Each structure stands twice: as C-alpha cells, then as structure tokens.
Amino acid sequence: MSTKSAFSTLKIILIIDLLIVAIAAPSYLYVDSLVPKEASFELSNLVINPEWVQFGEPVQVSVKVSNVGEKSGDFEVTLMVDNQTSATETVRLSGQNETTLVFSLTEVDIGDHTINIEGLNGTIKVTSDTPTRPATLQITDLSVSRIEAGVGDLITVSATASNVGDEVGEFIIELSINDQIIEIKNIQLEAKQSELLQFEVVENNEGTYEVKIGDLTTQFKITAEAEPAKPAEFKLTDLIVDPTAVIGGESVTVSVKVTNVGEETGSYTVDLNIDGSPKDSQEVSLSGGATKVVTFEVIETESGSHTVEVGGLSSSFDVENLSPPSKDIEINKVNVKPYEVWEGETVTLTITATNLVNEPGTLQVRVLHKDEVKATKGFEMAAGAEEVQLELTFTAGAVGKYPLKIVNLGNEENTKSGYFTVVENGMHTLTVSSYPVLGIPFVQDGVEYKTSYAQLLPVGEYHFEVEPTYDSGKYLFVGWEDNSTSLTRTVTLDERKTITVDFSGGICCPSVFTWNGTDYYYTAEISNPGWLGYIGYITDKGEIVFVGGNPWDGVKLNPDELAIREIGSKSYYDITLTQKWDEIFYLDAAYLLVVDHPTDVDVYSTIVRYMNSKY
C-alpha cells in the first residue's frame, strides 16, 4: 500500500480538525463549505374525497408533491385538521420529479372541519345522518333489440335510467344515432327510482349505426342479408335478498334481473316461491335485449331459515323472534372483514359485547348502510359475560363504498361504525408501499412506478423488481414485508393486498457525501457503521468519559464515486460530512484522512464494529 503526498498526484489529502459545540435536531454540520443546495418543493392539487361524509366513513386527502429543483431531497408533508397535526409523511424525490401523496382519515368527529396541507386549504363536513346527495342520473343496460336487421325493420333501443341521488330530479334523456340526436325524453325520478326507457328506430339505408345514450354506446347493422328476428327468450340473473337476517315481522326485499335475450318483444311471469310455496308473481313485457329489475317485498314471522326461489335461482334469509333487547348490554367494538369484496360475497362482522349486569340478556344488533337495513340479528348473552365475540354475516351488494352503522337496539345510543367496499368481479386493489421513505421506484410487469402506489387490477400474478439501492446508494434494499430478500418478487392477487419494500439507511448519524461529477453521492453514515464512541458517564467536573466503540470509521470510496472539481488552477475532490437527521449528535473533533491505494489493493468499510461487547 502506498500513500502519495503530492497534491498534483493525489489531488487531495485532508486532515481537518473541527470544534463542534453541539448539533441539535434537525441540524447540519459541514466538513467543507461546498454543500449541495436544498431541493425546492411545491405542493398542488389538494383533493378531498368525499367532502361530505357520514360519521365513520373514511375520507381520502391527496396532494401532489413536486421537486422543482435539480437536487434530490426530503420534504415533510403535514396534514392539519382544524389546525392540529393529523398525519405526517416524508417524501424523497429526485430533481424535477413529482408524486401524489394520499392520507386516509377515519373516525373524524361530527361537524365542519378545515383541512390544511402546507397552505392548501379545504373542508370536510361530517354528519350523523347520511349526506343528502343531489339528484343524479345514471344510465345502465343500454341494448338494441336486433344486432342485424333489414331495411325498414323496427329496432327498439332500451336503457335503464336511475336516480342515484337522494332527492327527486327531472332529467333529459337524448338518443343519438351516428352523432345525430334522434329523440329526447323528459322524465322525473324519485330518489333511488329506476325506469326502463324504450325508443323505436327505423333505418332505410344499409350500414352500421352507432347508438348513444349518456356515456353508453352500442351499435346495430342494417343489411339485406339479415336473418328473421329471433323469438323472445327470457333469462333471470342477479337474485338479491336484502337483508338476509331480520326480526320477525320485518320486511325483506327480493330482487332479480330479467333480460329478454331474444329479439322480438315478449312477456314473462316472474314467480316468487318462499319455502317451496308460491308467494307472489309479476308479469313483465320487454323488447329484445331489454333488461328490468323486478322487486318483491316479503314478511315472515316464523323463526328460522326461509328459502327464496325465483326462476331457478335460490337464496335464503333468517328470521329470529327473541326476547326484548336488554338495555344493559354494550357493544364494545366491531370488526368488518373482508375489507374488499365482490358483489354477492359474504361480509362478516365480528362484534365484541359485554353484559353489564349479573343476569342473562338479549343483544339485538342492526346493521345500517345509509339508513337502509343490511342485517338484524339477536344474541343471547350469559349473566356478566365480558368481551364476548359474536358474528353476524350478510351478502355484499352492488359495486360501491359501504360505510356501516351498527346499532344496539337495546340502547340505540350505543352505536359503532364499520366499512367495506365492493369492487368489480375479478378485480382487487394492489398497494405497493415503502419504508422509510416514499418515492422508491419499482417495476411491475415491465412498467416503472413509484411508491406509494395503489391500483384496482384483475386478479392474477404480478411480477415486481426493485433496484438494490436508491438515491445514489443512500438507501439500501433490505427486503419485503413477507421477509423475502430477493430483488424480484411474484405476487398472487386474489384479495385486497398491500406489499411493502424496506430499505435501510438514511435514518441517523452524520452522512458522508462525495461529488461524483453530476451530484453529491451518498457513501455511508459514520457512527452507524463503525461507532465513533459512546458516552459512558460524565464526571463531577463535567468531563465526558467514553466507553467502547472505535473513534475511526473506515469508508471505502470507489473511483466512480469521486470526480475532480476545479477552483482556478487547483483541482480537488469534494467530500462533505453532513448531520441531517432529527437527533442530537455531539462531537468535539472530526478528522478526515484520505489515502490513495494502488489498483491491486482492495479495502473494506468498517461496517458495524463494536469494540466493547457491552454494546
């Protein structure tokens, strides 16, 4: 090993003696004055969704974070609710990059609340009752009676118009064919009401015609080679029983979707059977391709399970007749699983309850979604029973978000909240997070993204890959949340899933940066690998006595980590020691000794070397 002393040969040999009194968090110390400029961050696009919620329903607050500078840097984003800190996230971005940071708020108190993120402002309204949504039109089930028809043949265009709001509304429905408005209907719908719309169309020229109502489109073709219209044929799907558990005498809603899969208009009688016996029936008339939801209301008083059968589809509901509910039983907590389901799947509520008195009692629980009953069930509890876990299940409805209110019917002031969401069949949410910083790049099936990432994806296998380091080596890959340590990973998405990639580094102690020609490159943290020494105790005279450790930390610098800088006629290497982390770090002196080694000599960093077994 050789040590060169000529400046022209080595470029630099530094022995630096610094007197540091104290460094307080957050704080910085510099070995030289050539410190990279701080990154410049801007925040924009504050989005609150939704802005009006029922108590217990989660709220997502998102904001775009942009690093408009040219250097990498950290930025701490703080979410303030009513001028109080609610959450804080640290974002690390390289220059000229951006990401969207999402906060989730739950259990926000009833009332009006202000939201502030670094000067961006918004509001949230939380009420005990379901928010009243304005009348809103939704068009579904657009169809045509014939995909192919002859010149002059009658074609019926059908669609279902629904008011998904909470107020009565008047709507204008436009039918367009080849971008020309053919017919307009004016309709009025009560809240939650649906109506089947039908338009009659005749075309006298051959060709393909595009049909549009609202945002939905379909098409039909006029040709001399069209076959005769197929006779009416009916298919029943989507049998829904809601709620699936009631107290004797309460109403149960049974609905089924009826579709004419033929081309001619026809009629069909929908028969409802309860426990194998006829209960009710309705007749529907539908044009070819049209769909209608038929609904029945059923009331049963006999306890037990009751079967429901409609057109070969079957389901069931339970009826209970219990003693009056006890006012001395308390619901302690509720857990809803799974968080994310498909329509028709089972949702399970685990209810923890306590009987506050020394006598048996009945707990009656009702589950509400936006004031609609999803389930009602009773439980007999022993005298003085504590923290008893009880289960209640019901069937998930249509795609959407489902904030739940769980009511103790014996004491209706004793309520709890829960939440689940229904996504499209065959889809689930995949979230990729990282620790200890966001913004870690990763590749998913050949496409690069950054954490945090969340996407609704088809079920199946997804392949991930991360780099071994991040931010010029400052952060080192450690592994995944499942304790695997490969840089590549395959994930089977069969339920809502979150995976987390862990990196080490960047959490404490002074950091060594070297100029590599384009940026300051993170090399190591001294006193993290290779401790500079521990404070053992302080004497009566105020003198610090150190124990263990080793005051020297050996750090290997590879050639690609260093680049020559120029000041006038002099050349030098730029090496910076910076204390960046939120901690107090005391030093009385810092020495930097730089040694140039022959190319055939390798050296190794100290890593974490404890000189005293006590530490």
Other beta carbons within 10 angstroms of residue 13's beta carbon come to 15
Report whether pLDDT(276) > 80.
yes
Both tokens of residue 568?
Answer: 């006038």
Q: Is residue 46 located within the same domain as residue 81?
A: yes
The answer as to whether 227 is a domain residue is: no
Both tokens of residue 479?
Answer: 């592994």
Find the range with the poorest average confidence among 203-207, 285-289, 394-398. 394-398
Question: What is the spatial distance between Cα 7 and Cα 567, in angstroms, rounded to a whole number?
Answer: 14
Q: Is residue 418 located within the same domain as residue 432?
A: no
Please provide the distance, in angstroms rounded to a whole number, between the alpha carbons at the two ends of the chain: 33
Higher-pLDDT residue of 550 and 350 is: 350
* All residues at 6 or more sequence positions from 52 whose CB lies less than 8 Å from its CB, including other chains: 124, 125, 126, 127, 131
Q: Is residue 196 located within the same domain as residue 251?
A: no
pLDDT, position 546: 64
In the structure, what pLDDT confidence band is assigned to residue 566 with cuts at 50, 70 and 90?
Answer: confident
Backbone angles phi, psi at 8, to 5 degrees: -65, -25
* All residues at 6 or more sequence positions from 484 whose CB lies less than 8 Å from its CB, including other chains: none
Secondary structure (H, E, C), 288-302: CCCEEEEEEEEECCC
Q: Is residue 483 located within the same domain as residue 577?
A: no
- Three-class DSSP category at 117: strand
Q: Give the rounded distance of the alpha carbon of 271 from its chain centre.
A: 42
485: containing domain: 427-504
- The residue among 87, 106, 127 that closes a domain is 127
Secondary structure (H, E, C), 542-558: CCEEEECCCCCCCCCCC
Q: Is residue 13 located within the same domain as residue 45?
A: no
Summarize the chain as % helix, strand, coil (round to 5).
Answer: 0, 55, 45
Question: pLDDT tens digit string along 154-205?
Answer: 999 999 999 988 889 999 999 999 999 999 999 999 988 999 999 999 999 9
In the structure, what pLDDT confidence band is assigned to residue 83 with cuts at 50, 70 and 90?
Answer: confident
Bridge partners (DSSP) of residue 525 are: 511
Find the range with the poorest average confidence among 22-36, 170-184, 307-321. 22-36
pLDDT, position 534: 59
Q: Is residue 519 located within the same domain as residue 605?
A: yes
Report whether pLDDT(37) > 60.
no
Other beta carbons within 10 angstroms of residue 308's beta carbon come to 23
pLDDT, position 583: 61
In the structure, what pLDDT confidence band is assigned to residue 287 with cuts at 50, 70 and 90?
Answer: very high
In the structure, what pLDDT confidence band is assigned to residue 515 with cuts at 50, 70 and 90?
Answer: confident
The answer as to whether 132 is a domain residue is: no
Backbone angles phi, psi at 395, to 5 degrees: -95, 135
The answer as to whether 36 is a domain residue is: no
Question: What is the spatial distance between Cα 405 and Cα 398, in angstroms, rounded to a whole number?
Answer: 18
The answer as to whether 609 is a domain residue is: yes
Q: Is residue 516 located within the same domain as residue 614?
A: yes
Rounded mean pLDDT of the chain? 82
Q: Residue 229 in contact with residue 204, Cβ under 8 Å?
A: no
Q: 1: which DSSP letter?
A: -
The answer as to whether 56 is a domain residue is: yes
Top-confidence range, 64-78, 253-267, 316-330, 525-539: 253-267
Both tokens of residue 255?
Answer: 């609905």
Question: pLDDT tens digit string along 344-357?
Answer: 899 999 999 999 99
Report whether pLDDT(12) > 60.
no
The answer as to whether 346 is a domain residue is: yes
Question: What is the spatial distance between Cα 292 and Cα 195, in angstroms, rounded to a whole number?
Answer: 9
Picking from 153, 45, 190, 34, the residue whose alpha carbon sits closest to that of residue 575 is: 34
Higher-pLDDT residue of 505 and 315 is: 315
* All residues at 6 or more sequence positions from 224 whose CB lies less than 8 Å from its CB, including other chains: 150, 151, 206
Q: How many domains does the chain have?
A: 6
The answer as to whether 229 is a domain residue is: no
The answer as to whether 406 is a domain residue is: yes
CATH number, position 467? 2.60.40.10
Sequential DSSP letters for 8-54: HHHS-------------SS----SSS-PPPPP-EEEEEEEEE-SEEE
Find the range with the poorest average confidence among 88-97, 132-141, 238-247, 328-337. 88-97
List strands edge to edge, sheet with 329-337.
329-337, 346-355, 388-395
Question: pLDDT tens digit string along 395-444?
Answer: 888 888 888 889 999 999 999 988 888 988 899 989 888 877 778 889 99
CA distances (Å), 305 to each of 281, 299, 300, 582, in order?
A: 22, 13, 10, 62
Report whether pLDDT(529) > 50.
no
* All residues at 6 or more sequence positions from 449 whose CB lies less than 8 Å from its CB, including other chains: 432, 441, 442, 443
- The residue among 104, 127, 150 that closes a domain is 127
pLDDT, position 611: 37
CB-count exposure of residue 573 (10 Å: 0-12, 13-18, 19+): middle
Both tokens of residue 135?
Answer: 């009348």
Question: What is the spatial distance between Cα 404 and Cα 348, in angstroms, rounded to a whole number?
Answer: 12
In the structure, what pLDDT confidence band is assigned to residue 266 with cuts at 50, 70 and 90?
Answer: very high
pLDDT, position 216: 94
Higher-pLDDT residue of 385 and 102 is: 385
Find the range with the poorest average confidence among 8-17, 185-194, 556-565, 597-606. 8-17
Bridge partners (DSSP) of residue 64 are: 44, 100
Tell me the pairing of strands 534-538 and 544-547.
Answer: antiparallel
Q: Is residue 270 located within the same domain as residue 308?
A: yes
Top-confidence range, 126-135, 298-307, 544-553, 570-579: 298-307
Q: Is residue 530 located within the same domain as residue 581?
A: yes
- Three-class DSSP category at 7: helix
Q: Is residue 531 located within the same domain as residue 608?
A: yes
Report whether pLDDT(495) > 80.
yes
528-533, Cβ contacts within 8 angstroms, sequence gap of 24 or more: 528/608, 529/553, 529/555, 529/605, 529/606, 529/607, 529/608, 529/609, 530/554, 530/605, 530/606, 530/607, 530/608, 530/609, 531/608, 531/609, 531/610, 531/611, 531/615, 532/587
Q: Is residue 172 located within the same domain as residue 215?
A: yes
Q: Is residue 181 located within the same domain as residue 256?
A: no
Bridge partners (DSSP) of residue 442 are: 449, 466
Question: What is the spatial distance between Cα 609 and Cα 586, in angstroms, rounded to a whole number?
Answer: 20
Report whether pLDDT(13) > 60.
no
- The residue among 192, 222, 252 that closes a domain is 222
Instruction: Read off the pLDDT of each residue in 268-275 and give the average, rounded to a whole number.
Output: 96
Percent of the chain exceeding pLDDT 70 equals 84
Question: pLDDT tens digit string along 209-240?
Answer: 999 999 999 999 999 999 999 999 999 999 99
Q: Residue 396 in contact with residue 343, Cβ under 8 Å?
A: yes
